[in-house]
Amino acid sequence: MTENVIEIKGLEMHFGGVKALRGVDMQIPRGKVTAIIGDNGAGKSTLIKCISGIYQPTHGEILINGKSVEITSPISARNQGIETVYQDLAVIDTLTVTENLYLSREIRKGIWPIKLLDRKKMLVGAAEMMERIGNTTTRLTNEIGYMSGGQRQAVAISRAVGWGAKVIIFDEPTAALGVKESAEVALLISRLKAQGITVIIISHNFEEVLTLADLVWVMRQGKAIASREASEVSGRDLVALLTGAEAAQ
């Protein structure tokens, strides 16, 4: 096993004449929390979409565990052990927790053509998934639509972990959450790290970044311009890197 679970080399993404990524080089260490920060248009969301298979880069390569791979779709990313939890969470409000956890992976019983959902087995599996992230209080038969933002995040995270993700990417995980719910998500991310799961966070919240992350990458104008150990920098340092003030000095 290599020290870095993901390595990005010379990655470029062009949309016509617009260069969203301009030769990005980046390393994501195994089993740690890495934050990627940058102003709007810096390229961080485009980079994540390349890693998660939504975009196929124009140039460059992505290595997983030291091996160059082509990630051609979200399913391809999932097969590489990469799951992404977006702001909208991709959960369906009118379905229960269990139904969301097994969305597109339903367990069925019976003989074709009459095969019914095996709800009992799915309920047991759902309980195991939620327990893995330390959540044993959420009612699995409740509809997602009646839950808080933090509880919804827990379901989305549990689904990713439950289906074998080795790398989980969070796109602004606490952007729409209150203080209490943000603390719940932070605890969940800490538990993922404790299980050896690699976490990548896209965030504008420097306090969150410095609290949760081990490593911070700074992007500007489509490039990864610096990386810093979170324990060795302040919010002011990150602002200086973002604005180019540090380079000017």
User: Given strand 59-64, what is the order of strands in its sheet?
Assistant: 18-29, 4-15, 59-64, 67-69
Give me the residue spans of the domains in the chain: 32-90+148-248
Residue of 132, 141, 201 lying closest to 171 (CA atoms):
201
Distance from the first to the final alpha carbon of the chain: 39
pTM: 0.87
Residue of 144, 168, 170 lying closest to 155 (CA atoms):
144
- Give the model's pLDDT for residue 245: 64
Tokens, residue 155: 């379901």
Q: What is the mean pLDDT of the chain?
A: 89
H/E element holding 120?
A: helix 119-132
| Residues paired with 12 in a beta bridge | 22, 59
Q: Which top CATH class is 32-90+148-248?
A: alpha beta
* Tens-digit pLDDT profile for residues 57-113: 999 999 999 999 999 999 999 999 999 887 766 788 999 999 999 988 889 998 877
Q: Are strands 167-171 and 82-85 parallel, antiparallel or unpaired?
A: parallel
- Residue 35 banded pLDDT, cuts 50, 70, 90: very high
- Give the model's pLDDT for residue 249: 44
**Axis crossing angle, helix 179-194 with helix 149-162, rounded to the nearest 10:** 20
Instruction: Give yes or no for residue 247 having a pLDDT over 50.
Output: no
* Tens-digit pLDDT profile for residues 192-235: 999 999 999 998 888 889 999 999 999 999 999 999 999 999 99
